[in-house]
Structure 1
Amino acid sequence: MKKKTVVIVDDHLLFAQSLESLITKLDGYEVLAILKNGKELTQYYLHKRRKPDLILLDVKMPVMDGVQTMTWLKEHQTEQKVLVLTMEDDEETIIKMLRAGARGYLLKDIHPENFEFAMKMVIEQGFYYSSKIQSALQYSDQPEKEVTRDLAEKLTEREWTFLKYACSELTYKDIAGEMELSPKTVENYRESVFKKLQVRTRVGLVIYCMKNNFFKL
């Protein structure tokens, strides 16, 4: 059976080596390389080394961090599947990484069994979100096309405008300025959209829009 290949990009060498040891013990996986930052990853591609099935990418790194790396990958390696593995759990960072094309987002304290499942899901299905990130979503297992059709029709034109801005890197204050509304009115739009789309947080909103292809992020 052909092994699934992984490249680890993390500047913490001890963690990266421990992660490599864990992955190589799993059935059907092979680590092609451990790289310290995004710059080393770009060089990896430029030297036309073997393209991995999955990249495990940290966020906080010197020289070229996770966000910069994802931006480069989105432009130069558009089909590359990336699973973020980090300690950063703030909403702004998560949204930036998802918008840049990350297929999943994990915190480093994840259980090894869940970690293996996450890798499998990203490689085979295209997306995976940890329970902490997934908890931002409330909607059921209703088929996505039905969810999109039934719920999207409930949004007003102004709510669609808010939704597009909410999936950007703008703050809620910035969104109020763009929509020429008071922060309180934007807050009302936020609560209305959250309720209609059955999500709990802005991260959940971004994930929802990605999965249902509402617009290109």
Structure 2
Amino acid sequence: MDKPVTIAIIDDEVLFRKSLILLVSREETFQVVFDGENGLDLLSYLESTSKHPDIVLLDIRMSVMDGIETSQIITEKYPHIKMIILSSIESDLLIEQMIYYGAAAYLVKKSHPEIVIKTIKQVHKNGIYFDANIMSIIINAKRKGADNRSKDLFCGMSTREIEILNLICQQYNTKEIADRLFLSERTVDGHRKRMLDKTHSKNVIGLILWGIKNQVLAFE
């Protein structure tokens, strides 16, 4: 049996949190390893164990420590943990802010249960999951501040790296990119690491934001 996807759920609305635990626990490949009512609960848990969850479902509005502050700390101290933001607010500015702080996905609380499960699976598989609406918000926000750097020079990136970056943005995983470009998975991982180094990005989200800002991504 494959190793389960481990999940922590952080939300101060007890009824919503318990309902979400029940929903997620129905999936045989998911395992809820922790739940808490604020960011401080989560950070205390992470400091107490070496077995960190793969994914955290994190509410934004919470007492003691909210999701915004918590996400910044997670990105800085635990960049290997993927964050899916939960919110009842559909605000372009808030979505942009949370993605900037490292969110791998953004879910409104009225989302259908199937969308919640799909999002968790996609984040685990590809590292990120942004639907067309979220991608549109990211693109519009970053293009406002984009400069006129030469697309021909690709800002120090090789053409192969730009090709891989575009596929990452389209949410292809390492194996899918390797198959599509007739490369080994090890080669793709090597390109990804060099791109992270060149752009001073901590994760895939940072790479995508860099690509949009520098206008090297080919969105359809």
Q: TM-score range by the shorter chain?
A: 0.5 to 0.7
Report the CA distance between 1:134 and its aligned residue: 3.7
Aligned to 1:212: 211
How many residue pairs are counted as aligned between the two chains? 153
Shift of residue 209, structure 1, vs aligned partner = 4.5
- TM superposition score normalised by structure 2: 0.62
Superposition deviation, residue 37 in structure 1: 0.6
Letter in 2 for 1:70: S
Aligned to 2:199: none
Match of 1:58 in 2: 59
Question: Any residues of structure 2 matched to 1:79-98 within 5 Å, and which?
Answer: 79-98=80-99
Q: Over the residues paired in the alignment, what is the CA RMSD in angstroms?
A: 2.7
- SS at 1:17's partner residue? helix
Percent of residue pairs bearing the same amino acid type: 30
Within-5 A mapping of 1:49-198: 50-136=51-137, 153=151
- Residue 33 and residue 49 in structure 1: after superposition, are their counterparts in 2 closer, same or farther (change >3 A)? farther
Conserved in 1, the CA contact under 8 Å of 2:6 and 2:33? yes
Task: Write out per-residue CA displacement over residues 93-138 of structure 1, whole angstroms, 9 at most, x where no aligned residue.
Answer: 1111111111111111111112111101111101112454245478
2:102 and 2:206 in contact (8 A); partners too: no
SS in structure 1 at match of 2:103: coil
**Which amino acid letter does the alignment assign opposite residue 123 of structure 2?**
V
Report the alpha carbon displacement of residue 214 of structure 1 after superposing the two structures with TM: 4.9
Query: Contact 1:59 / 1:88 at 8 angstroms: preserved in 2?
Result: no
Equivalent position of 1:46 in the other structure: 47
Aligned partners of 2:10 and 2:57 also within 8 Å: yes
- Looking at structure 2, the residues matched to 117 and 9 of structure 1 have their Cα atoms a distance apart, in angstroms, of 19
Find the residue that maps to 1:98 and give its secondary structure: helix
1:210 maps to amino acid: L
After superposition, residues 14-29 of structure 1 pair within 5 angstroms as 14-29=15-30
Show the counterpart of 1:8.
9
Contact persistence 1:105–1:130 (CA under 8 A): no
Query: What is the SS of the residue equivalent to 1:20?
Result: helix
Shift of 1:38: 0.6
Unaligned residue ranges in structure 1 (runs of 5+): 139-150, 155-205
